[in-house]
Amino acid sequence: MGNKKIIIHPGIGKTATSAIQKNLFNMCSNDSSKFIYPDIGMDSECAHHFFADNYPHFEEQRFYRDCDRLLELAGKANEKGGDLVCILSSEFLIHSSKGHIDALISRLKEGYEIVEVFFTIRSKPELIYSSYLQGVKVNYGVKNGESITDYAGRMGDGFNFKVLFKKWSSVDSLKFMEYKNKSSFVSRFVSHLGLSSENVECFESNISIIEDVVNIVFNFDSDGRNREQRRVFIDNMLDFSYKYKSLSSRRLKDELFRIYHDEWIKELLYLKENYHEIT
């Protein structure tokens, strides 16, 4: 009878989560010998968002049905007598309620000997900056015309790793890795899981806008254009951002560093002292 482990990667967003998910999807399949990245609770973007109660399309009945399917995978591994490492990834999970997280972990422990959480984190000023630009780009999570400091304040504990980590205190093992360089970060992530980093692919689908076009996007959205018009407009803003990234202002980023840098250093030290960092 082999060992059965389930690893949950709850993000956080803007730490190469999409690239990690696509690589895991390509590397692991439901019929692989040991590592499984299951197509259970998965949306169209290779992410297991349906396991998160804050996902806009979450369905409670589906959640419990999908948990049962994960337990079936563990049961099949028992029958074969082999080891199993099942991996789930969704950046929505990091912001799920504690009650929901506890219910998820309790259910998974019925079939898996080890439930492990593997966080990916990022410097707080960089994370807020990147999340804000992403929210403006996709018109989700940022109010029209909202300043970056107002956005950060409204998010509250959404960027507080001490609070976010504590919600997962009932797992057997909690690890984290700090995001810096995207390509090397994904390789380090999959290598730690036990997968070959030689097969890592670079995905550049989630391109960012530069801060100089934020107000232009706000003005466009205030006119109430349709989805297709917005898609074409954002594509043009992304092309502009790519061409002039080296000339972009750093005003918003510098403002965030002045406000949050010292706080982030203290928070990172706390995480290193209390949790297992993967270096």
pLDDT at 182: 74
Contact between residue 10 and residue 120 where contact means Cβ atoms under 8 Å apart: no
pLDDT at 1: 61
Contact between residue 117 and residue 8 where contact means Cβ atoms under 8 Å apart: yes
pLDDT at 33: 65
pLDDT at 137: 96
How is residue 158 annotated by DSSP?
G
pLDDT at 202: 77
pLDDT at 200: 87
DSSP, collapsed to helix, strand or coil, labels residue 61 as: helix
Question: Angle at Cα 36 formed by Cα 166 and Cα 2, nearest 5°?
Answer: 90
Kindly tell me if the per-residue pLDDT of 41 is higher than 90: yes
In one-letter notation, the amino acid at residue 26 is: N
E runs forming strands in the chain: 4-9, 35-36, 84-89, 114-121, 173-178, 276-277
Contact between residue 71 and residue 42 where contact means Cβ atoms under 8 Å apart: no
Contact between residue 208 and residue 234 where contact means Cβ atoms under 8 Å apart: no
> What is the percent of the chain where pLDDT is above 90?
81
Q: How sure is the predictor about 205, in pLDDT bands with cuts at 50, 70 and 90?
A: low
Task: Report the pLDDT averaged over residues 105-128.
Answer: 96
Q: How far apart are CA 25 and CA 41, in angstroms?
A: 13
Q: What does the chain come to in residues?
A: 279
Q: How far apart are CA 56 and CA 139, in angstroms?
A: 15
Q: How sure is the predictor about 29, in pLDDT bands with cuts at 50, 70 and 90?
A: low
Q: How far apart are CA 13 and CA 137, in angstroms?
A: 14
> Domain 4-123+159-204+264-277: which CATH class?
alpha beta
Q: How sure is the predictor about 168, in pLDDT bands with cuts at 50, 70 and 90?
A: very high
Domain range list for the chain: 4-123+159-204+264-277
Mean pLDDT for all residues in the chain = 93
φ and ψ of 8, to 5 deg: -105, 125
pLDDT at 25: 93
Task: Report the pLDDT averaged over residues 167-180.
Answer: 93
pLDDT at 22: 92
CA 159 to chain centre: 13
β-bridge partners, 118: 175
Task: Report the pLDDT averaged over residues 144-153.
Answer: 96
Q: How sure is the predictor about 224, in pLDDT bands with cuts at 50, 70 and 90?
A: confident
Two tokens, residue 98: 């504690």
